[in-house]
A and B are shown apart, each in its own frame.
Chain A
């Protein structure tokens, strides 16, 4: 095939702006926003009560807002880890098949743009919408913290919570790419939504259990660990490795490292690693970034790989319905 002329970027901005305005005006988005705001409020309420009664001396009191959990409510950050995929799927599950079902696909593609522009524009619009949502949520949390705690956040806290925001956005990007991939693969919007939601439930609820069982099967506990009644190191490493296939695991690990400055490692810790460590002392931001680097890169790479898969599938698709 001869090389094609004209830029694949033509029209990306136009498509993205139109999609953002659609997203922000849609009833679907409003429902999802309220869902997040209400659950977040419930999680934060517990955290506020805890903070006010206990930790007056904590240097990272703002970060505790994100991480403190008061049973039965999980922490605000864990709640986001659960709900962000839902919003991302809600934005992406009918991105491509919706155009076919509305019969607008061939009309739009007969305009002077490449398919690249349509897909990329939709992806960027979804990401921008999620960014706006997360930023608003972040501002709400910070504002509520200022009013109810009566102390301003320190620069460390600001930087860490913004870093958390960025990682949350990448995590959302993975799920957006997943749902857009399904919207390319399945012609029915209902099917793609169901498959995406099914995968989401599998990854959040079933995979952590399955990973443990699989690890046991791959690396059975040796005699020493059987006698001690503890899993062997190989089993532990397999468990963690398998769990990290799930974006949820990557996100929650990154969340812990970024929001709890005293986190030193995200896996099994050996005694010799603790030599010279001042227990309970917070790490510098740079050190925490080094800890979450693989997780963050993993999330970004996952989003790119999934987007690429959606791109290839979309390019090979016939336009006619």
Chain B
């Protein structure tokens, strides 16, 4: 009996000669929000489909709540809720009828169905539009309806594929909050997305996918230390002559890069904002802004993929 809710070992998926997922290992603990990150085509959705038992793995093993989705898919799918990328509903049916259909597929009896659907619609704030045809729903409402389906199912694990892409900022905010409320209910959430900012705010841990492999895995802070290196990045916006040289002379600064004519980025051992301000002013520059960059997933991601691309170039040159 493992303590992990989802556990993948050496999971591999090949389509003919192409390898979509190449021997990945990861484990998701109970009540965790775990993010799968990576560019399109990196193998995120394929991984999810293997977790659901909707695609056969070519190699390796998956366990979901200690069950094998390849061998016992019905039992797995009973406890696992899935919100696909760009989820679709039967447009000619109302939201309630759509939920009723999936609830019937779960084998719930009429009164239980009614109770769960009412509760889920209320929680997703869809009660008032529940009788409207889904054709009239906005994208945000459809996503919430998808989440309502997972709630009706009382899933212990929710798998959400690109849940926030294409949502307006307000809907996104709402939706992230709803995902957090799932976590509070003790649901384990597996998210896939390429929207880093959203992932950073909600995920406990993330796995970075690249070309079918997990390149990095851990909490955002952990990844930042690993990829960006230790130290603090300070951004200085100031106009003045020869500021780059002056800033480089500030004690503790390891490197200065000019991002734009009047913007510089300092990589330092500590917070050097006060010292940098003094130097700029002393050099006769006009200081307009000074900020410490929080280690962001964005930075980690860009740095990681740029570094990987750069490392690849010479290899191509030799070949």
Contacts and interface: CB of A to CB of B under 8 A. Distances in A.
Interface in A9-58: 10-11, 14-15, 18, 22, 25
A110 B146 contact: no
A109 interface: yes
B75 A5 contact: yes
A112 B87 contact: no
Given A14-B104, A106-B84, A112-B106, A4 B71 contact: yes
Contact of B101 (A18, A106, A109): A18
A216 B189 CA distance: 69
Contacts of A103: 84, 86-88
Interface in B26-49: 45-46, 49
A2 B74 contact: no
Contacts of B102: 107-108, 111
A15 to B, nearest CB: 8
A71 interface: no
Interface string A85-119: 00000000000000000111011111111100000
A-side binding surface: helix, strand, loop or mixed? Answer: loop
B70 interface: yes
A6 B75 contact: yes
A113 B105 contact: yes
A319 interface: yes
A14 B90 CA distance: 15
Contact of A107 (B46, B49, B56, B87): B87
Given A6-B72, A104-B89, A109 B54 contact: yes
A112 B78 contact: yes
Given A102-B90, A107-B149, A319-B54, A3 B78 contact: no
A191 B56 CA distance: 29
A267 B211 CA distance: 65
A118 to B, nearest CB: 10
Interface residues of B, number: 35
A11 to B, nearest CB: 5
B-side binding surface: helix, strand, loop or mixed? Answer: mixed
Given A110-B77, A112-B74, A14 B88 contact: no
B89 A114 contact: no
Interface string A65-93: 00000000000000000000000000000
A108 B55 CA distance: 14
B197 interface: no
B82 interface: yes
B173 interface: no
Contact of A111 (B46, B75, B86, B106): B106
A5 B106 contact: no
Contact of A5 (B52, B72, B82, B101): B72
A1 interface: yes
A318 interface: yes
B74 A113 contact: yes
Nearest to A15: B105
A5 B74 contact: yes
A6 B88 contact: no
A4 B68 CA distance: 10
Interface of B: 45-46, 49, 52, 54-56, 70-75, 77-78, 80-84, 86-92, 101-102, 104-107, 146, 149
13 contacts: A2-B71, A4-B71, A5-B74, A10-B74, A14-B104, A102-B90, A103-B84, A107-B82, A108-B102, A110-B80, A112-B106, A113-B105, A319-B49
Given A109-B52, A320-B45, 5 more contacts: A2-B70, A103-B88, A112-B73, A112-B75, A113-B105
